[in-house]
């Protein structure tokens, strides 16, 4: 499946094996802290990117995008549209995103989230959710700029406390 979403500045393209070098080079402590919890290993990253390609072929439940910037489309980060997770209601999509250090602070994550919300609506989602740790003020700011509303702070089954931000995709 080829899916390309763009607003003229940011383009989202499916993430896959060809993104190995750029992602491995771009991942830093901040991305590890907020997204994965552990630094990527070459083997683990290859497996993950192969899995991303399989999910695209299967139509989900995860839709992993590379955030790219026009005109040359370098990989600037990643954004996942995740459905079918145990903590989501039917019709909800969880959005998880991160930018590599040189691309932060330019409004690119907000643009990417807006594009992903449009995509989530096309696959039948009625609400987008951004869950972030209370200390992750950058992620909360992206959610606010993209029109999300703070819903709640809650303890997750894994012991983490996360702030939930939501956006009605039917509006």
Residue 2 pLDDT greater than 60, yes or no: no
Residue 29 pLDDT greater than 60, yes or no: yes
Note the pLDDT tens digit of each residue in 96-120.
Answer: 999 999 999 999 999 999 999 999 9
Per-residue b or e along 110-129, where b marks 16 or more CB atoms closer than 10 Å to that residue's CB:
bbbbbbbbebbeeeebebbb
This prediction's pTM: 0.93
Note the pLDDT tens digit of each residue in 35-94.
Answer: 777 888 899 999 999 999 999 999 889 999 999 999 899 999 999 999 999 999 999 999
Cβ contact 82:44 at 8 Å: no
* Mean pLDDT value across residues 17-31: 90
> Residue 1: what pLDDT?
46
Domains, the chain, in order of start with CATH, read 5-168 (3.40.630.30)
């Amino acid at each position: 499946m080829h899916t390309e979403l763009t607003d003229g500045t940011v383009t989202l393209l499916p993430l896959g094996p060809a993104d190995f070098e750029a992602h491995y080079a771009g991942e830093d402590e901040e991305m590890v802290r907020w997204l994965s919890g552990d630094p990527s290993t070459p083997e683990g990253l290859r497996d993950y990117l192969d899995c991303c390609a399989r999910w695209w072929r299967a139509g989900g439940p995860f839709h992993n995008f590379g955030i790219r910037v026009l005109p040359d489309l370098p990989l600037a980060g990643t954004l996942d549209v995740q459905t079918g997770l145990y903590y989501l209601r039917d019709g909800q999509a969880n959005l998880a995103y991160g930018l590599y250090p040189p691309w932060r602070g330019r409004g690119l994550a907000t643009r990417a989230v807006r594009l992903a919300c449009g995509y989530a609506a096309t696959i039948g989602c009625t609400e987008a959710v951004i869950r972030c740790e209370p200390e992750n003020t950058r992620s909360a700011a992206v959610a606010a700029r993209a029109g999300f509303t703070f819903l709640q702070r809650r303890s997750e089954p894994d012991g983490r406390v996360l702030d939930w931000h939501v956006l009605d995709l039917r509006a």
